Amino acid sequence: QMQVVESGGGLVKPGGSLRLSCKASGFTFSDYYMAWIRQAPGKGLEWVAYIGSSGADISYSDSVKGRFTISRDNADNSLYLQMNSLRAEDTALYYCARTETTSVGAWLDPWGQGTLVTVSS
């Protein structure tokens, strides 16, 4: 079945860096947009970034633009999020999700279980 599994989270000091990974299986990874979404403890969902199927179409939320970089390796069915200059407010559970894009909108399905990023000194 379709599945995405995140890894790479952890504890990092403010100003530090971390690279998240997401491994996909059960679908043709290179056919789909992919996204990162985060959820701060006890809070709602915030879209972070997406990347097109070939990697050419990329967009970021204003809150991470210039600090985070999304990328993918279609040969390895993997999605990445390089996070630099981390701040306390980046502390969250980070989800990877396949993005279905159609003429009637775009939706996230499936989602991974998430990887926790904690930014604290």
Partner 1 sequence: DIQMTQSPSSLSASVGDRLTITCRASQRINNYVNWYQQKPGKAPQLLIFAASSLRSGVPSRFSGSGSGTDFTLTISSLQPEDFASYFCQQSYSLPPTFGQGTKIEIK
**Contact residues for partner 1, defined by CB under 8 A:** 35, 44-47, 59, 61-62, 95, 100, 102, 104-114
Please state, in angstroms and rounded to a whole number, the distance separating the CA atoms of residues 74 and 34: 11
Please state, in angstroms and rounded to a whole number, the distance separating the CA atoms of residues 84 and 31: 28
CB of 75 to partner 1, least distance (A): 26
CB of 76 to partner 1, least distance (A): 22
CB of 72 to partner 1, least distance (A): 18
For partner 1, the closer CB: 16 or 55: 55
| Nearest to 25, CA basis, from 117, 104, 84, 98 | 98
